[in-house]
Amino acid sequence: MSSDNDLHDQMIHFDPYGKKLGMWLFLFTEFLLFGGLFVVYAVYRSMNPEGFHLGSAELDLTVGAINTVFLLTSSLTVALSITALQKGNSKLAINLIMITILFAFAFMFNKYYEWTMKFEHGLFPGMEHFNELPVGEKQFFNLYFMMTGLHALHVIIGAILLLVVAWGIKKGTVNQKRYIYLENGGLYWHLVDVIWIYLFPLFYLII
Amino acid sequence: MSEEHSEHIVSYKFNILVWIDLLIFTFITIEIAQFDFQALTVVIALIVATIKTLLVGAYFMHLKFENRFLQSVVVGVFLLFIAVLILLFSDYLY
Amino acid sequence: MTAISQPRGYVNFYQEKRGLMSWLVTEDHKRIALMYFYAISGFFIVAFCLGLLMRLELIAPGRQLLDPQIYNQVFTLHGVIMIFLFIIPGFPAVFGNFSLPLLIGAPDVAFPKLNLVSWYLYVIGGLLALSTLLFGDGPADTGWTFYAPYSVKTGTNVSIAVLAAFVLGFSSILTGLNFLVTMHRMRAPGMTWFKMPLFPWALYATSWIQVLATPIIGITLMMIIAERTLGIGLFDPALGGDPVLYQHLFWIYSHPAVYIMVLPAMGWVSEVIPVFVKKSIFGYKVIVYSSLAIAFIGYFVWGHHMFTSGMSGEARIIFSILTFLVSIPSAIKVFNWVSTLYKGSIDVKPPFLYALAFIFQFTIGGLTGLVVGALAADIHVHDTYFVVGHFHYVMFGGTGFAFLGAIHFWYSKIWGRNYNLKWANIGFSILFVGFNLVYFPMLVLGMMGMPRRYYDYLPEFTLANQVSTVGSWIMAIGLFIVIVNLIAGRKGPKASSNPWGSVTLDWTHTESPPSLYNFKEIPTVTRGPYDYRDYEDYIKENHKN
């Protein structure tokens, strides 16, 4: 009933800053979720420096570096999409979001390739090669799969979020006057990027 | 107090400059990793990663243009995490 | 008080939209609070009965009715339900949801749809937890703490139990997030931070803990699931893992969690005492800072759960000192509450009785907390009944009683009726006596050396155990009377909008029960939250038709 909506709108106001604050709080929870794994990493690396060094050597630095570039660039494109929408250019905003999602796909494809290589070499917990590793290296790979796996899940979630936002821009509910949902989608995406910024040196660069 | 929204727009050009900085630091971190700084290696890697994070946070995530409260809370949460990590190591270092 | 007069055209929030569906898709914080209330109360009764069952087993040495394996599963489920389904969500989800917007003059919380999502997550988590009863080797037998390596190896339904806790944690996080934004953005005009009442302040501190601590247990539980299902042995010693690291990660959340449990209850006590003493709380600002201090320092004391785990000596000393530090702000609050009573015009109503019981029992719990917090003393009482007594005094004698008190306090606001005062007092008294008979002997038993989580015990512990078990029956009778009286109150006399004569917005500016958006128009605040000067005039002025 429209009078219901009138009363609702009279009593409850649209609050973009509140929504932004809410997203930041949620980002804190995601940061701490990964933080727990970083804690385990810190402890086990301090206990097994050699094992971690050996484990890192098994990873493909080039693929890791390319993935880093993919994510950094995807952060750029989503930031640009916000600029575009703020300037009223909805079409460009949507295109930039789609490019962001494309980079997400590229990242996931690389990840799939890397993991498949590992499985083929018997390097997953329980597999032959893994079982022969010294304990330090075992924990390196435990953490590698746990952390990059959880991160990949968040890449997927982030991409879906951005897709929903892109749809909102197309429908017009997310627009030059009301773009908080795009900002929030961007914030989530940047967090996914930041986590990888730490994962990359901690797993690929222990040379 | 409804549409109180930071109207500050980060230009296309500025975003791209930040991105270039990020790529440069990525290159730096890969090159530095070739050297063996023993215990310092991980510290340096983390410092570079943190610089990149500060760039993403300040500009892409718009923190530089937000209010003091939000900025302090972001820093505060990070410090809380570090404090817990240090306290945890009181068990593992001894 | 006098005749019930309500404004013309007034429709309360129950009458707005009717039918089951309208509840299941509601965005109204008051309806969500009620849905939480019924779910939480149901789970509480289940876990309470599990507790009675344990006490029945422990009435004498040797096997009474339960095998050791079943006993382990009973105390695990008792703990999981009480902690994750009752105490942690309890105050925030029920009274935070119902009263927070009312207390700060807001029409709802910041994210009403997210609030509904929180409730559904709660229900899913609860169903997952209960489902562990229905298949395989039955519910987890690890204790609610799920310590590795046993939690990884046991064949019982640990993965599902742990998944349930994860889902419930998510519900808790979203509630905390919602309340933080609500308090930052939706306080009524004129309500500066230091004009905000103390129950919201307590929820504020609590919400920060919910947001910042819960993810740690989230990831820790995910690691258990990963180890059980995928063989990613992060805590497996054979793979170089450290089971003590599990304990660290578990308690890094679960210690702050106890402040999630107690801070809102303390906030309620601070809220209620001024009402029944008709004067302002003593040391309002100090109580605010103490709440924040408890939340902050509480992050750094987790190691006191691990004094006998093999942690380094240095770590143990540091944690013991920090633990003593966190007791200071709690003690300050007790002094402030008691000081408020001085020269007050005391009106002994049921909520006030529950608040007094809280102060008494929380003090005992807190003092025994100092014993377990002291490194040398803890070596003797760790994993004994002393600890069980300690935490039941704070969690049940403290938060549990406060929760019952809160029901008695906001009853008329929620259901628009009054319950019978005499039977409320009788129920309370029997419950109080029963409670202390159950848990005080445990402090003695612990000192004598009876271990916890054992289904059997040495003959010298028999008398104290029998007292405790009989006490549990008395406690059950008291609780039964309390509950029946509350249910009967639904048909009691209609209530006025402010039967206790409080000056806070939840009572002065809303009807009983409130309308959909709580206020006819959002009030502008000029007075402090507990300003009882000329309170009768103030109340009359604001209850205009």
Per CB-CB distance under 8 Å, the chain A contacts of C181 are 18, 21-22, 25
> Is residue A60 within 8 Å of A114, Cβ to Cβ?
yes
- Within 10 A of B59 (CB to CB), how many other CB atoms are there? 22
Regarding pTM above 0.90, the answer is yes
Interface-testing mutation among C212, C244, C247, with chain B (most B C-beta atoms within 10 A): C212
Q: Is residue B34 part of a domain?
A: yes
Min Cα separation A109/chain C (Å): 22
B25 shares its domain with B48: yes
* Residue the block writes with tokens 């490194």: C375
Q: Is residue B2 part of a domain?
A: no
Min Cα separation A76/chain B (Å): 6
CA distances (Å), C405 to each of A70, A156, C5, C271, C536, in order?
56, 46, 27, 11, 24
Question: Does the distance separating the beta carbons of C300 and B84 come in below 8 Å?
Answer: yes
What letter does residue C417 receive in the DSSP assignment? Answer: B
Min Cα separation B8/chain C (Å): 21
Number of domains present in the structure of chain B: 2
* Nearest residue of chain A to residue C250 (CA atoms): A36
pLDDT at C545 over 60: no
Per CB-CB distance under 8 Å, the chain B contacts of C299 are 80, 83-84
Token pair for residue B18? 């930040």
Q: Is residue A85 part of a domain?
A: yes
Token pair for residue A148? 């990059």
B90 shares its domain with B74: yes
Q: Is B85 on the interface with A (CB under 8 A)?
A: yes
Poorest-confidence range of C345-359, C411-425, C461-475, C515-529? C515-529
> Is residue C384 within 8 Å of C449, Cβ to Cβ?
yes
Residue C452, Ramachandran bin (φ over 0: left; ψ between -120 and 50: alpha; else beta): beta
Question: Does the distance separating the beta carbons of A32 and B3 come in below 8 Å?
Answer: no
Per-residue pLDDT tens digits for C40-85: 999 999 999 999 999 999 999 999 999 999 999 999 999 999 999 9
Q: Is residue B51 part of a domain?
A: yes
Min Cα separation B35/chain C (Å): 28
Question: Does the distance separating the beta carbons of B60 and A79 come in below 8 Å?
Answer: yes
DSSP string, C126-185: HHHHHHTTSSTT-S--STTTT-TTHHHH--SSHHHHHHHHHHHHHHHHHHHHHHHHHHHH
Interface-testing mutation among C219, C249, C299, with chain B (most B C-beta atoms within 10 A): C299
Q: Is C218 on the interface with A (CB under 8 A)?
A: yes
Per CB-CB distance under 8 Å, the chain A contacts of C223 are 36-37, 40, 146
> Is residue C410 within 8 Å of C357, Cβ to Cβ?
no
Q: Is residue B49 part of a domain?
A: yes
Per CB-CB distance under 8 Å, the chain A contacts of C27 are none
B49 shares its domain with B85: no
Residues 6 or more apart in contact with residue C307 via CB below 8 angstroms: C316, C319, C320, C375, C378, C379, C382
- For C484, what's the count of Cα atoms within 13 Å in the CB-facing half-sphere? 10
Min Cα separation A177/chain B (Å): 9
* Residue A65 parent element (H or E): helix A61-86
Range of the domain at B44: 9-61
Give CA–CA dist A196/A152, Å, rounded.
Answer: 10
pLDDT band at B2 (very low <50, low <70, confident <90, very high): very low
B22 shares its domain with B43: yes
- For B4, what's the count of Cα atoms within 13 Å in the CB-facing half-sphere? 10
Give, in degrees to the nearest 5, the angle at Cα C346 between C345 and C351. 140
- Those chains having 3 or more beta-carbon pairs within 8 angstroms of chain C are A, B
Instruction: Name the nearest CA neighbour of C471 among C444, C503, C433, C509.
Output: C433
Region C427-442: what's the mean pLDDT?
98
Name residue C515's beta-bridge partners: C12
* Residue the block writes with tokens 């306080």: C187
Question: From the list A11, A32, A44, which residue is nearest C212 (CB)?
Answer: A32
Give CA–CA dist C289/C277, Å, rounded.
Answer: 23
What letter does residue C280 receive in the DSSP assignment? Answer: P
Give CA–CA dist B79/A32, Å, rounded.
Answer: 12
Region B35-48: what's the mean pLDDT?
85
> Is residue C416 within 8 Å of C494, Cβ to Cβ?
yes
Q: Is residue A139 part of a domain?
A: yes
Residues 6 or more apart in contact with residue A130 via CB below 8 angstroms: A122, A123, A124, A138, A141
pLDDT at C246 over 80: yes
Question: Does the distance separating the beta carbons of B56 and A197 come in below 8 Å?
Answer: yes
Give CA–CA dist C180/A28, Å, rounded.
Answer: 13
Question: Does the distance separating the beta carbons of A75 and B56 come in below 8 Å?
Answer: yes
Whether the bond into C149 is cis, omega within 30 of 0: yes
B30 shares its domain with B52: yes
B81 shares its domain with B53: no
Min Cα separation A128/chain B (Å): 30
Give CA–CA dist C522/C534, Å, rounded.
Answer: 23
> Is residue C421 within 8 Å of C492, Cβ to Cβ?
no
B42 shares its domain with B19: yes
B82 shares its domain with B55: no
Q: Is residue A7 part of a domain?
A: no
Per-residue pLDDT tens digits for C121-162: 999 999 999 999 999 999 999 999 999 999 999 999 999 999
Q: Burial level of C13, CB count in 10 A (0-12/13-18/19+)?
A: buried
B56 shares its domain with B13: yes
Contacting C residues, span 481-520, partner chain A, CB-CB under 8 Å: 516-517
Confidence (pLDDT) at C322: 96
Q: Is B71 on the interface with A (CB under 8 A)?
A: no
Instruction: Name the nearest CA neighbour of C283 among C357, C342, C221.
Output: C342
Per CB-CB distance under 8 Å, the chain B contacts of C212 are 77, 80
Per-residue pLDDT tens digits for C301-314: 999 999 999 999 99
> Is residue C442 within 8 Å of C386, Cβ to Cβ?
yes
Give CA–CA dist B31/B33, Å, rounded.
Answer: 5
Interface-testing mutation among B4, B8, B9, B22, with chain A (most A C-beta atoms within 10 A): B22
> Is residue A140 within 8 Å of C232, Cβ to Cβ?
no
Range of the domain at A169: 16-204
CA distances (Å), C434 to each of A94, C403, C471, C475, in order?
65, 17, 5, 4
Question: Does the distance separating the beta carbons of C300 and B90 come in below 8 Å?
Answer: no
Region C339-364: what's the mean pLDDT?
96
Maximum Cα–Cα distance for chain A, whole Å?
A: 71
- Within 10 A of C90 (CB to CB), how many other CB atoms are there? 27
Query: What is the overall mean pLDDT for chain B?
Result: 90
> Is residue B50 within 8 Å of C272, Cβ to Cβ?
no
Report the number of secondary-structure helices (H) and strands (E) in chain C: 20, 0
Per-residue pLDDT tens digits for C477-497: 999 999 999 999 999 999 999
Interface-testing mutation among B1, B3, B88, with chain A (most A C-beta atoms within 10 A): B3
Name residue C494's beta-bridge partners: C417
- Within 10 A of C283 (CB to CB), how many other CB atoms are there? 18
| B39 vs C429, residue with greater confidence | C429
Give CA–CA dist C148/C146, Å, rounded.
Answer: 7
CATH number assigned to the domain comprising residue A146: 1.20.120.80
Considering Cα of B72, then B75, then B76, then B77, what sign does the dihedral take?
A: positive
Residue type at A173 in one-letter notation: T
Token pair for residue A51? 């094992």
Confidence (pLDDT) at B42: 86
Interface-testing mutation among C181, C248, C306, C322, with chain B (most B C-beta atoms within 10 A): C248
**Residue numbers in chain A where pLDDT is lower than 70:** 1-3
Q: Is B3 on the interface with A (CB under 8 A)?
A: yes
Q: Is B47 on the interface with A (CB under 8 A)?
A: no
Number of domains present in the structure of chain A: 1
Q: Is B62 on the interface with A (CB under 8 A)?
A: yes
Confidence (pLDDT) at B3: 44
pLDDT band at B6 (very low <50, low <70, confident <90, very high): low
pLDDT at B7 over 80: no
pLDDT band at C6 (very low <50, low <70, confident <90, very high): low
Region B2-29: what's the mean pLDDT?
85
Residues 6 or more apart in contact with residue C390 via CB below 8 angstroms: C365, C368, C369, C371, C372, C443
Confidence (pLDDT) at C544: 57
B20 shares its domain with B56: yes
Give CA–CA dist C87/C151, Å, rounded.
Answer: 23
- Domains of chain C (ranges, CATH numbers): 30-542 (1.20.210.10)
Whether the bond into C513 is cis, omega within 30 of 0: yes
Give CA–CA dist B77/C316, Å, rounded.
Answer: 25
Q: Is residue B3 part of a domain?
A: no
Instruction: Name the nearest CA neighbour of C55 among C469, C509, C475.
Output: C469
* Residue the block writes with tokens 């991980």: B42
Give CA–CA dist C407/C366, Å, rounded.
Answer: 24
Per-residue pLDDT tens digits for C170-184: 999 999 999 999 999
What letter does residue C395 receive in the DSSP assignment? Answer: I
The phi and psi torsions of C415 (rounded to 5 degrees) equal: -110, -5
Give CA–CA dist C391/C389, Å, rounded.
Answer: 6
Q: Is residue A149 part of a domain?
A: yes
Min Cα separation B38/chain A (Å): 10
Strands (E), C423-475: none
Q: Is residue A10 part of a domain?
A: no
B56 shares its domain with B81: no
pLDDT at C361 over 60: yes
Per CB-CB distance under 8 Å, the chain C contacts of A21 are 180-181, 184-185
Per CB-CB distance under 8 Å, the chain C contacts of B91 are 244, 248, 303, 311-312, 315
Considering Cα of C52, then C56, then C59, then C62, what sign does the dihedral take?
A: negative
Per-residue pLDDT tens digits for C269-298: 999 999 999 999 999 999 999 999 999 999
pLDDT band at C7 (very low <50, low <70, confident <90, very high): low
pLDDT at C354 over 90: yes
Region C338-360: what's the mean pLDDT?
96
Region C529-536: what's the mean pLDDT?
92
pLDDT at B40 over 90: no
Question: From the list B19, B49, B92, which residue is nearest A198 (CB)?
Answer: B49
Q: Burial level of B15, CB count in 10 A (0-12/13-18/19+)?
A: buried
Question: From the list C212, C299, C315, which residue is nearest B94 (CB)?
Answer: C315
* Residue the block writes with tokens 């730096």: B28
B13 shares its domain with B56: yes
Question: Does the distance separating the beta carbons of C315 and B91 come in below 8 Å?
Answer: yes
Q: Is B37 on the interface with A (CB under 8 A)?
A: no
* Nearest residue of chain C to residue A144 (CA atoms): C232
